[in-house]
Amino acid sequence: MLLGYARTSTLEQKASIETQRAALEAAGCEKVWQEQVSSVAHRSGLQEALGYAREGDTLIVTKLDRLARSVRHLGEIVDTLEARNVSLRILDLNLDTSTATGNRQADAERHRFGGSVRA
């Protein structure tokens, strides 16, 4: 199953959350979680999406900074997904960890961000 996650930091970014949701639905997501919360706050929508994901599912986000707030956080999310055999797809990076190339690219992204991926 294709699962989507969309996030903006503020309520003023309504157009952004709608754009993300439209992109996720266009990518085929059957279920989408969305929230408007800072990346450093507790994100219940993200936790629900991660908890819902099952083996063989793919979690899709539009941009890396909508998902992870730091390299460490990205690593934690990827590790959680990998442990459950769930793939990650990041649309703007054309990254898909269900492929060998995507796995190498995900590792490169972890190393490329020498610090925060927050936005």
List Cβ<8 Å contacts ≥24 apart for 47-55: 49/3, 49/4, 49/5, 50/77, 50/80, 50/81, 52/3, 53/3, 53/81, 53/84, 53/86, 54/1, 54/84, 54/86, 55/84, 55/85, 55/86
Q: Which of 9, 39, 44, 116 is catalytic?
A: 9
Q: Are 102 and 92 in contact (CB under 8 A)?
A: no
- How far apart CA 72 and CA 113 sit, in angstroms, is 10
Residue 98 falls in the annotated catalytic set: no
Q: Which residues are catalytic?
A: 9
